[in-house]
Amino acid sequence: MYRPVTNPTRGADRAAEYLGDQMLGQASPLPFPTEAIIDATGESATLLQTCDWRGHSPSAIGVDKSGKLFIGAFSELTVTDARVLPNDLGHTIRARRQPKLKGKAA
């Protein structure tokens, strides 16, 4: 995870260098801000975009509880937003429809 203002291993003068050697590729906005948890700290966050962060892809750009932007690999974040989590009822309905659909195709 990279937080420009709180990264303890790099001084403020090295922030630009750090991003320079960890190039960001194309960023794509999510359809809506998505709630998540930062696994290492358990804090709530809002994900805004996905991106290609060399060496950490796929990744997300988000805002932490302090209002600071961060970049985190998908392996460092857990989505908690009910709008994007799999819907168990939807899975049940689709599973019941599968045999009917297979019978019609035959």
- Model confidence over 25-63: pLDDT tens digits? 788 999 999 999 999 999 999 999 999 888 888 899 999
Of the pLDDT bands very low, low, confident and very high (cuts 50, 70, 90), residue 5 is low
Residue 66 falls inside a structural domain: yes
How much is the average pLDDT of 89-96? 80
Residue 2 falls inside a structural domain: no
Residue 7 falls inside a structural domain: no
For the sheet with 59-64, list strands across it.
Answer: 69-73, 59-64, 44-53, 24-38, 77-79
More confident: 15 or 50: 50
The per-residue b/e assignment along 28-47, b for 16 or more CB within 10 angstroms, e otherwise, is eebeeebebebeeeeeebbb
In the predicted structure, residue 15 carries a pLDDT above the cut 80: no
Nearest to 38 by CA among 5, 72, 11, 9: 72
- How many domains would you assign to the chain? 1
Residue 81 falls inside a structural domain: yes
Q: Which of 15-29, 42-56, 61-75, 80-94 has the lowest mean pLDDT?
A: 15-29
Q: Which amino acid appears at position 87 of this protein? A: N
Give, as one character, the DSSP assignment of residue 2.
Answer: B
**Which domain range does residue 37 map to?**
12-105
DSSP-assigned beta bridge partners for residue 61: 49, 71
Mean pLDDT of the chain: 79
Nearest to 67 by CA among 43, 39, 49, 84: 43
More confident: 97 or 43: 43
How much is the average pLDDT of 69-82? 92
In the predicted structure, residue 101 carries a pLDDT above the cut 80: no
Residue 1 falls inside a structural domain: no
Give, as one character, the DSSP assignment of residue 67.
Answer: S
